[in-house]
Amino acid sequence: MITENEIIIGDEKFIPFITEEQIQKRVKELGEQISNDYKGKLPIFIGVLNGSFIFLADLIKNVNIHCEIDFFKLSSYGDSKISSGNVRMLKELNADISERHIIIVEDIVDTGLSLNYINQLLGKFKPASIKYASLLVKPESLKFDLKIDYIGFEILNKFVIGYGLDYAQKYRNLRSIYVLSQ
């Protein structure tokens, strides 16, 4: 059941957490910051599928310099709410990123396992620079020493859905973010 005030999935209840207005305001700020930082350059935004596609779409609409996009896909969670600790590559990049300025776009950084894997993998292609953007970061869960350059919101270590983030592949289409209520 989906209502404005709560989402019930089995015996779990999700309640409103970050509104559509708050998300759009912050994404606009990040887009402006990136536009300034990359003036005179042609960055490639690289979205990590599936979760980042809505954030990436909204982000680049707020970027006012030329840019390119590409995507790749990793698997670590499956349909579970807890990281399996393993990362597998399911779809590779198409773009040649050597000598290019790349901005990796994630929906959420939890343990940092995925981003750490991406960092090692993409570094091998010798890009001119690598920066990271994530709509959400859970600082308390981070297990790797990672610098995330563009952060939408830092949140507590709770499971969230909506705005690209799924629950067993569903609920990505919610316009705002909901959190699991204990």
Residues numbered 53-92 forming contacts with ligand 5GP, rule: CB under 6 A? 76-77, 83
**110 counts as catalytic:** yes
Find where tokens 């994530």 sit: 134
Site residue total, ligand 5GP (CB under 6 A) = 18
Shortest spacing between CB 64 and ligand 5GP, in angstroms: 27
CA angle 164, 1, 25 (to 5 degrees): 35
17 binds ligand 5GP (CB under 6 A): no
Token pair 């305001």 is found at 25
Q: Which of 108, 133, 135, 148 binds ligand 5GP (CB under 6 A)?
A: 108
Q: 37, 58, 110, 145: which one is catalytic? A: 110
Token duo for residue 17: 């957490």
What's the min distance (Å) between Cβ of 72 and ligand 5GP? 12
Residue 118 makes contact with ligand 5GP by CB under 6 A: no
**Please, what sign has the CA dihedral across residues 15, 170, 104, 100?**
negative
Q: Which two tokens stand for residue 64?
A: 């006012």
Residues in CB range of 160: below 8 A, 6 or more apart: 17, 108, 136, 177, 178, 179, 180
According to CB under 6 A, which one of 51, 55, 131, 132 is a site residue for ligand 5GP?
51
Among 112, 127, 135, 150, binds ligand 5GP (CB under 6 A): 112
**Tokens linked to 163:** 């705005």
Q: Where are the alpha helices (DSSP H) in the chain?
A: 20-37, 53-61, 113-123
Question: CB of residue 104 vs ligand 5GP: minimum separation in angstroms?
Answer: 11
Q: Write out the residues near ligand 5GP by the rule CB under 6 A.
A: 51, 76-77, 83, 106-114, 159-161, 165-166
Catalogue the active-site residues.
110
